[in-house]
Structure 1
Amino acid sequence: MSKGKSTADELQQHLQQLSNAFAVRLQVELPALAQNAERLLHAADPQEQLQHLQSLRDQLHKLAGAAGTFGFSSLGQRARELEQEADQWLETLQQEQQSLQDFSHSLQQLALQQFQAERGQEAATRVVKPPRPNSSARRIYILEDQLAIGENMRLTLNNFGYHAEHFSHIADLDHALQQQLPDALIVDVNLPDESLTGLEYAASLQQRLDEPLPLLVITTQDDFATYLEAVRVGAMGFFTKPVDIPQLENRLERCFAQQQGEPYRVLIIDDDRELASRFSLILRGANMLVEMLHEPADIFARMRSFNPEVVLLDVSMPDCTGPELAQIIRMNDDWLRVPIVYLSAETDINRQMNALIKAGDDFVTKPISDNALVAAVFSRAQRARLLSNALSRDSLTGLLKHADIKEQAAVELERAQRSGKPASVAMLDIDFFKKVNDSYGHAAGDNVIRALANLLRQRLRRIDSLGRYGGEEFLVVLPDCPPDQALRILDEIRQRFADLHFIADGQQFSVTLSAGIASTDDAPASADDLLDKADRALYTAKHGGRNQVR
């Protein structure tokens, strides 16, 4: 059995267990509902009737939302109908005895019926396939008939940290594809010695594959027709010769970022533990990180520790309603970007609007299918992350901005002081950057900055933090990394960067960098002190001849 099938079977087994637990729960809740209906019928005065009616309405509301989700569709539908009838009683305050007898009788009938779980349609729930795990070196295949161009591209991409392979002929590339698929494909349009153009070959290849490969196109033809043909075969990048390889690498990184990123973080707040557990299983099966919260009073600690990108919030909870809790979340400026999605059996549009007006971004009505839940959460999380990146990350490099990378340095200093494990920070500066701008233009300077940002992303770990400190200066925060190890890593990056070749107006040039390292082993008094030590080390490297790490 394949790993993917095993994971799907395991998920279905957990979902079945939750449905069985809900069925056991019904054996307690339905008789309790009947008893409350009996109390309503025999209430001594209108005020007592009103209290019992409100309690019954709340019970029916939760039942209507949960039953359908666990496969008890008929039960959920009938509970919703009775909930709406209870709402009418509460709104009109009509307390005629005969009508209440009819309503009470309907509730008792609901409790006495034997409902079977109608799980046939949901049993085949599609589990979203997790993305391909990230590897330390992504494999890139290059189809380029000109040996010098292809080899230069291969060597440069390898310097960026990829595993690039160059093929001059379609037959050689086909043979390699049969052995192992790459993470991305770069194809030259013009292949004069082949029967197919590069785009024709790419089109036939993509049709043969189960999933299309990220495709970048290089060509001497800079015309609309070639662009259009490239788009139609699924190209994600288009570059004219001579190719600016750092720009091409930047586009590769963007392609991979679209395909795979860190799992979205979702916080579910619901007093119904079984229902929250089911939602959690579905979202985890879709490769999301999920935590559950059942006590609203714990919201502050959980928001700080988990830092969710989406909050799924039940509307009706005892002691603190969903809209009230949403308003509490919105009072903290740090959480203004986090979308709040209400999950509720509430179907009244006016109540939905009131909840959204107070605080909230979307309203999803229970019961909801598993695929619809995944789609609703994924779209909100994706938008939230894009917005967060736009606000906290530098637009040119995609790295953290000045304030955010400084904050990361402070966080790692505190962590190092608690754990006793050393952390290092490094200041990097591009040598003679003003000369690059003066000689080749600001567009070329931007390419150099992007290239260094991409190289840092490729060569450093996921747990490391990278930021553009200002202009051509970068700050790197390396957790659990002693200074001698940081020195080796940064010096390798320095050498790789010096090996890169840039092109501007047909001219080729190279650039170097200098770096200074400071460590928490130096017992800095504060994050500012740590950064000041790194800055002084960078100053020493600059005045010691540049193109070095101190």
Structure 2
Amino acid sequence: MLSPLPLPACDTPTTSPERIGLLCHDAQDVSALVEALIGHGYDCEAFTNTTELGQSLAHTPLAAVLVMHPHLLRDRDGLVTLRAQLGAFRELVAVCDQTDIQARLTSVRAGVTRHLLWPLPPVDLCAALDEWLSHQRRRPHRVLIVDDSAVTLRHHAQMLTNIGLDVLTLRQPLQLLEAVHSYRPDVVVLDMYMPEVNGIELAAVLRQEAALIQTPILFLSSEEELDLQLQALNAGGDYFLLKPVTPVNLVGVVSTLAERSRKARRLCPMAAPLAPDNKP
């Protein structure tokens, strides 16, 4: 069975405003900045400690957190905790006057995604946020996973849906073309060995259609033989991961391939899969 229902083909922006959190020493010190962000169209709130911020995140997600608390910026464990609370694909921004490499490395190793030198005009901060958060206004990346094991499908799908990706699972590999044409995935994940057909053959079928040439294919298999892995890549695969796979590795590879797919689709519309009623 195909599950869930396919999304529309276009990357339609979402309309809900992004919510920004400011982690600072004193909320009064950043009141003017909060007002500027609200005036620019963001939903913004200041927090003076990570406990308050964590409680807020439990009820309402944040698109970004700006860390303006000097002590927390020096606290690697605190930043790691904040990164985990925020989620993998939200912006964690260090806003400070530190320019030395050690300070920057501490924040990067803890999961900080951006660094802004302070002070800077609020209009420049708003412009930076507009650019950084633009990817969050699009629909989630779509991933099609093909495997004859229901348990494996649920396990891998959960890894990806946990970080906000949209996932379609398929246990009948011979329905692959129908699923690709209707669902329009950004990435196809194939098992190597299934009844009636193997993943190498499925990849070759996908690559026969011009509209599917640039759709990334990830092989996810317990096959350790290097020659067979190379055969899978030669058939049209872009990457090979061994089972069992960790969530970090699966999420990292799928996210990278999906973003590359979206970029290719924007640059070359013919890279998008065919609609179901089109002829090859």
User: TM above 0.5, one fold?
Assistant: yes
Query: In structure 2, how many angstroms separate the alpha carbons of the residues matched to 1:205 and 1:324?
Result: 47
Tell me, yes or no, if the aligned pair for 2:218 and 2:237 is still in contact at 8 Å: yes
Shift of 1:293: 4.3
Tell me, yes or no, if the aligned pair for 2:187 and 2:258 is still in contact at 8 Å: no
Query: In structure 1, how many angstroms separate the alpha carbons of the residues matched to 2:212 and 2:134?
Result: 24
Shift of 1:348: 3.6
CA-based RMSD: 4.2
1:157 and 2:37 aligned: yes
Provide the TM-score with structure 1 as the length reference: 0.35
1:200 and 2:77 aligned: no
What are the equivalent positions in structure 2 for 1:318-397 lying under 5 Å apart? 319-365=196-242, 368-369=243-244, 372=245, 374-392=247-265
Q: Hey, what does 2:94 align to over in structure 1?
A: 216
Query: In structure 1, how many angstroms separate the alpha carbons of the residues matched to 2:240 and 2:49?
Result: 50
Query: In structure 2, how many angstroms separate the alpha carbons of the residues matched to 1:363 and 1:233?
Result: 31
Query: In structure 2, how many angstroms separate the alpha carbons of the residues matched to 1:202 and 1:282?
Result: 36
Seen in structure 2, the aligned counterparts of structure 1 residues 152 and 353 have a Cα distance that, compared at 3 Å, is: same
Query: In structure 1, how many angstroms separate the alpha carbons of the residues matched to 2:217 and 2:201?
Result: 12
Structure having the larger proportion of residues in helix: 1
Q: Hey, what does 1:239 align to over in structure 2?
A: 117
Tell me, yes or no, if the aligned pair for 2:38 and 2:44 is still in contact at 8 Å: yes
The structure 2 residue matched to 1:278, chosen from 151, 164, 167, is 151
Which structure is larger by alpha-carbon Rg, 1 or 2?
Answer: 1
For 2:178, what is the secondary structure of its paired residue?
Answer: helix
The structure 1 residue matched to 2:52, chosen from 166, 173, 177, is 177
Structure 2 residue runs of 5 or longer lacking an equivalent are 1-14, 87-91, 276-280
The structure 2 residue matched to 1:140, chosen from 21, 26, 49, is 21
Tell me, yes or no, if the aligned pair for 1:310 and 1:381 is still in contact at 8 Å: yes
The structure 1 residue matched to 2:177, chosen from 300, 306, 309, is 300
Seen in structure 2, the aligned counterparts of structure 1 residues 387 and 137 have a Cα distance that, compared at 3 Å, is: closer
Q: Which amino acid aligns with 2:43?
A: H
Query: In structure 1, how many angstroms separate the alpha carbons of the residues matched to 2:259 and 2:192?
Result: 27
**Percent identical across equivalent pairs?**
20
For 1:185, what is the secondary structure of its paired residue?
Answer: strand
Structure 1 residue runs of 5 or longer lacking an equivalent are 1-133, 168-172, 188-197, 394-400, 412-550
Query: In structure 2, how many angstroms separate the alpha carbons of the residues matched to 1:347 and 1:229?
Result: 41
Task: Identify which of structures 1 and 2 has the higher relative contact order when contacts are C-alpha pairs closer than 8 Å and 6+ apart.
Answer: 2
The structure 2 residue matched to 1:313, chosen from 190, 198, 214, is 190
Shift of 1:158: 0.7
Query: In structure 1, how many angstroms separate the alpha carbons of the residues matched to 2:223 and 2:67?
Result: 51
Shift of 1:304: 1.6
Q: Hey, what does 1:421 align to over in structure 2?
A: none
Deviations 1:122-172 (A, max 9, x none): xxxxxxxxxxxx97451422648797x8444222211333232458xxxxx
Q: Which amino acid aligns with 2:155?
A: I
Q: Hey, what does 2:169 align to over in structure 1?
A: 291
Seen in structure 2, the aligned counterparts of structure 1 residues 325 and 348 have a Cα distance that, compared at 3 Å, is: same
Tell me, yes or no, if the aligned pair for 1:309 and 1:381 is still in contact at 8 Å: no
For 2:81, what is the secondary structure of its paired residue?
Answer: coil
